[in-house]
Amino acid sequence: MIELPIPDKVAEIKKRNVALMYEDASIQAFLKEHHLGIEFIAQNYVAFMAYWQNSKICQNCKGLDHCLQDNKGQRMRLEYDLVLTTSLSNCPYKKALIAENRHLEEFVLNDIPKEYHQLTFDKAIKTCPDKNICIALGHILSGKSKRGIYLYGDFGVGKTYLIMALFNSLAMMGKKLAFVKVNKLIDTARNLTINDKAAYDELIASLMHVPYLALDDIGSEGVTAFSRDDVLFTVLDYRMENHLTTVFTSNADIEKLTNIYQFDKYAKEDAIKAKRLIERVVNLADPYCLKGNNRRRENIESW
């Protein structure tokens, strides 16, 4: 191979950069690990320059929110196996985030907002004013009881907050579960019946079989024969027959929930089907009323 002469200025810049890279702590560690010397940097100048410049982006980084990398939370790494190659790897901040969110992999369906992904039962229970509710939720968490809880009360008193915390903590224990908002579930299911019947069947099956299921804000959806009979009854009937832990939150007590499901949004009445559904609810979960102030309103007023 004929080597073309390198202009003096370019050669001088390369020599200086090689020397600077050789002083870099991470590059020195890499060379030492593979028993290589400074001449290896010169031989693989382009790759080392790419790594060096990429690593500079991460200097003085304050976290993922401030990440300037093209691939957020990932930085270039050097690899050597007879030849030098580069790849992307997660930075410490990204690794920490993945570790914190590893429990989310246990959810087959998850409507818990991102800001509550780290909420734990130990933290949330401190805000619960009802000892009996604390005990009932604790028995679910400890596995002492497979029986669920029907948690109802006024808007904003913390019903969903407690159940999100319970389910996060169950996930951290490696339990498979699903946390779904009922109105969102019904919208999704209705769309799937039109666009993807196989996906609809998979959705219903996952809710039927998952060991722990939370149905958040039941009774708030626009009731139809489809939502009551095809979705909720199908899921709850299977779970009742197989004694699978199911928890609910609602603004309605059991009597009011029965009235809600007695009429669909077209004012068509079917008291028998409503009672059949509610029978599954009460066979799956014990009702508890959570009382207290509207925490959402208090938070807004404190802004």
What local confidence, expressed as pLDDT, does residue 97 receive?
A: 84
What local confidence, expressed as pLDDT, does residue 41 receive?
A: 94
Confidence of residue 5 (pLDDT cuts 50, 70, 90): low
The secondary structure of residue 54, as a DSSP letter, is H
What local confidence, expressed as pLDDT, does residue 301 receive?
A: 31
CA distances (Å), origin 139, targets 125, 145, 240: 13, 5, 19
Task: Name the region of 292 (left: φ>0; alpha: ψ -120 to 50; beta: rest).
Answer: left
Contacts (Cβ under 8 Å, ≥6 apart) of 180: 109, 111, 207, 213, 214, 215, 216
**What residue spans define the domains of the chain?**
8-95, 101-301
Residue whose entry in the numeric block shows the structure tokens 């019946």: 193
Q: What is the CATH number of domain 101-301?
A: 3.40.50.300
Report percent pLDDT > 70 for the chain. 94
For the ranges 66-70, 105-109, 113-117, 278-282, which has the lowest average pLDDT?
Answer: 66-70
Instruction: List pLDDT tens digits, range 285-299.
Output: 999 999 977 766 555
Residue whose entry in the numeric block shows the structure tokens 């497979």: 146
Q: In whole angstroms, how large is the CA radius of gyration of the chain?
A: 29
Most confident of the ranges 55-64, 122-131, 206-215, 217-226:
206-215
Instruction: List pLDDT tens digits, range 168-180.
Output: 999 999 999 999 9
Instruction: Give the relative orientation of helices 25-33 and 45-57 as an angle to the nearest 10 degrees.
Output: 130
What local confidence, expressed as pLDDT, does residue 299 receive?
A: 53
pLDDT higher than 50, residue 303: no
Instruction: Give the relative orientation of helices 131-142 and 159-172 as an angle to the nearest 10 degrees.
Output: 20
Question: What is the average per-residue pLDDT within 79-91?
Answer: 92
What local confidence, expressed as pLDDT, does residue 93 receive?
A: 87
HSE, side-chain direction, 13 A CA sphere, residue 293: 8
Tell me the DSSP string of 174-188. Answer: T--EEEEEHHHHHHH
Question: What is the average per-residue pLDDT within 205-210?
Answer: 98
